[in-house]
Structure 1
Amino acid sequence: MSIEKVARLAGVSKATVSRVLNQHPGVRPDTRTRVLTAINVCEYQPNLLARQLRTSQSNMLLVLISDITNPFCSRVVEGIEAEAEAQGYHILLCNTRSQLRREAAYIALLTGKVADGVITMDAADCLQELQGLIGDAPWVQCAEYDPAIPASSVSIDNREAAFETVRFLAGKGRRRIALVNCDMRYLYSHQRESGYRAALEELGLSWSGVAYAEGISCEAGSAALRELLAQPEPPDAVFTVSDVLAVGVIHAALEAGLRIPEDLAVVGFDGISFTSSLNPPLTTIEQPMNRLGARSVQLLLERIRQPQAAIVHEVLPWRRVERASS
């Protein structure tokens, strides 16, 4: 279907249809509605390649994430997509697995103007290499970031959240508080472990135990708890760096005949929605996942529209959601 037929159906000129397609502000709302209705009726697909050659803008944002199966990443992407669409953009989602070869292939799309800018959620330890690939293109680091890189970032204070979680568990009378951590390529893993150890030291708790899960999965969480329970003096509380790991911890604890929270308190991290329906419901550190995504888009569009805009390192608030597992 051609643009001429869309214009005839809507009773407007081809130029007006073009202005609507390009989100031009100088179109009356009722005219815009007629054109969009005609586009839907005709199932018209604009030639995006031709448009970007004319405008040097694709209205597409490249989003690099390390693991699409991680519910935290999925929720952040929801926020990215919703805000991008509200701003007249679409996203190109790339599951990189934090592999530089895959990242390089996707980032090449920036030089071809298939995308106008990039949001990364890759592991922090690969961001320096990514910087060389991204160059001067607009870039925002979401959740994972390197403060030495001249690109804006959005995150939470992971160290503070972990520190306060240990204080919370100690306030409940727990004295053998363990941490289930995971891939140390990620900044959040370092920050949460740092907060955990700092809190133990401040509280004068000599017992510590850290198990490193092999990936973010329920099975990995269960294996980590079994490792901790094999110690001569097992933990009476477990703090995990992911809700998914916490689910595995609970499963393994119940299999071992432990009562939650009487024998073992469990606290997760992220605030994934399904944790409220677990048995028992999971206490968790809730991240503003959708807001992390939306704010990343807003900061990226500022850089796209104003290349000299100031670099921003924004820290969003977290909150503890207390439930029966603690």
Structure 2
Amino acid sequence: MIKRRTSSAYIHVTLAGLGCMFASATLAQGYPTKPIQLVVPFSAGGDADMAARNLSAAAQIVLGQPVIVLNKAGANGAIGATFVKDSSADGYTLLVGRIGSQVLLPALQPRTTPYQWKDFTYIGLLELNPVVCVVHPESAYRSLADLANALKAQPGKLNYSHSGPATVQNLAPQLFFASLNMRPDAAINVPYKGGNEVAMAVITKDVDFACNNLSSMTGLLSGGKLRALVTTTPERLSQFPEIPTAREAGFSQLEAVIGWSALVGPPKMNPDAVKKWADALKQVAKNQKWVAGNANFGGIPHVLSPEETEKYVSNSFSTYADLVRKAGLETQ
């Protein structure tokens, strides 16, 4: 009797194991078999939203299934990112992670952010998004040095716009102040809902300056509605070659501030689904409509493999955590 029960238990476990193997094999062969939800942790119309919709249009052609964009904004990206972190790891709920949600928020608020940078599966980097510091075309500040001199002459009097503490729009000015050996309140920070509002605040002269993602300002710069003082890229932008780099302006520290988008999944995401997406992103990178879509909102295509992406994000977090610590920006 004992042998029979042992044999029966063995058969049950074996069948269960075969079932798991069959399910895995089915996913490897068939994924995706239904629409994929692509979560954007910020509001519609912003940089992350444009990156997600650009990816959606190209990826669904390769994958053969709809890729549906879902905006879940709030808490500087934490609501959408947490939603994906807690989702099934089957590859049908993914995130367009941004530097703000994935790196800056955990660095600035390590004890209150409901996740760490490593609590996700990193599938692929999509594009880089330079930061450009701008003023109104009628502003007296014609260079970053001019702005620096004004800040020193009137500490705490000027103001700048940003879309939250855990964003490059806030961190770039803070690093600028730190490079001038000035306090974090060297200028008054004025928060807005998104990158478009950050740029419009400069146009309407509600603020003196802003350091914003290029994707939020490409059309405004082309139309002469903003004057750029500096870009954080190591080389000048091909689209705006007249804008000096941070190094040329004498503030090389600002090169550390550059935005990016990445395709991110829940922790321990099924490796077959990860591979399927990694292969798809290689094809997306060759799609001229996707490349042109990036150019439309100021993104620079920079697709990386899952392994390269995880290393890139890890290095990014280390860099920003160090910068936050040195600048005394950690809030909680």
Q: Higher relative CO (CA 8 A, sep ≥ 6), structure 1 or 2?
A: 2
The two structures have a TM-score, normalised by structure 1, of 0.44
Larger Rg: 1
The two structures have a TM-score, normalised by structure 2, of 0.43
